[in-house]
Structures are given as structure tokens and as C-alpha cells.
Amino acid sequence: MYTDVSYLACAKKLLAVPNLIYPQFATHNAHTLAAIYQLAGQNYYPGQYEFQCLHGMGEPLYEQVTGKVADGKLNRPCRIYAPVGTHETLLAYLARRLLENGANTSFVNRIADTSLPLDELVADPVTAVEKLAQQEGQTGLPHPKIPLPRDLYGHGRDNSAGLDLANEHRLASLSSALLNSALQKMAGLANAGTTGSGR
């Protein structure tokens, strides 16, 4: 559900700047599709955004998307895509899709479960995350079986801290440190040239 919430947060940002980005939303999740449709608003114009569907998956869902409004459809474009490449590339891609869609929590897997109540299938992931946050006392507790980056290598060895390259202040600090290091090295070379044998 956190992945669904993150996807919607990214979709909202992409839809906010239609003059800069042409979003292409690939999803087979009906809830995500409906949320994007609502986030984009009713004033749709060609070139605002499109949906994407993997060939062989999600056709019944996208039949509801691409048809005319007069026929009760959404009248939004949907690009059908298919992976292209070498045998090794395609096999890896197929394995990822099978793992992704075969997971118990995937929408594609859950929609086939006739014992699952419809309300649970189309539950709002944001509401689910908020409910969990109330139960746990905070939003987004780490999964107990997934180690934090520092503990990635187990108890005997700490992982390096790394740098947050998405942080502008951190990047500016890194740039300044690299420049100072380069200047010191050049100054050292220049000094070595003036105190050397003159060759």
C-alpha cells in the first residue's frame, strides 16, 4: 500500500506541470487508474497525459478507459506496450512482471480472488496508511524483516553512510569540498615546480 501511495504522490506532481511533462501512467490497478483520472480533473485535453497497458494484460480495464464518453467510457488514450529485446532481456523482464503480479498483494492477483470483498479490493491506500499510522503511532514504520541500509551486511559489518545526492545543500557541500581538494592538489603541484630542480 505504501507503493500505491508513493505512485499517487508522484502522479500528482507530474500532473501539476503539464507544460513541462507528458505523464504516461502504466498501471493495471483500477484504483490507481481512477485516482489518476480524478487527480487530472475533468478538463482533459489531448496531450495532457496517457495511460499505458502491457500487451496481454488489463484489456478489460482499458476497454473502459479508451471508449467514448457517450458510451459511458472515460475517453482517455491508452498506449499498449510490449517488451522488445534479446531473449535474456525479455526473460528477465517477464520474470519481474510475474513476480510483481503474482504477489499476494498485487491488484492483478487480488482481482481474481472471488472471495475478496469488493470494498477491500478498491480500498483507498491513503486511508489504509493513515489507519496504520494511528495504530502504530507513526507513519511508515520499517518492515521488521528488511534491514535498514546501515545494517544491510548483518551485525559484523556496518554499511557506509553514503551521501544523499538528492539534497541540494549536500551536493553544494560536496562540490565545494571537491573544488578545494582540486585547488590544494594544483597548488601543491605548482609549489613542487618552483622548488624542484628546474627540469
- For 110-177, the DSSP string reads HHT-TTS-HHHHT--HHHHHHHHHHHHSSS-PPPTTS--GGGTT-TT-PPP----TT-HHHHHHHHHH
Helix (H) or strand (E) holding 62: helix 59-66
Structure confidence by residue, pLDDT tens digits, 91-107:
888 888 777 766 666 66
Secondary structure (3-state) at 52: strand
Radius of gyration (C-alpha) of the chain in whole angstroms: 25
Helix (H) or strand (E) holding 180, with range, is helix 168-195
Contact yes or no for 35/8 (Cβ under 8 A): yes
Question: Could you tell me the pLDDT band of residue 179, with boundaries at 50, 70 and 90?
Answer: very high
Q: What is the pLDDT of residues 142-178, one digit of tens each?
A: 777 888 888 989 888 999 888 888 889 999 999 999 9
DSSP H/E element including 78: strand 78-81
Single pTM value for the model: 0.63
Mean pLDDT of the chain: 84
Residue 79 backbone phi and psi in degrees, to 5: -95, 130
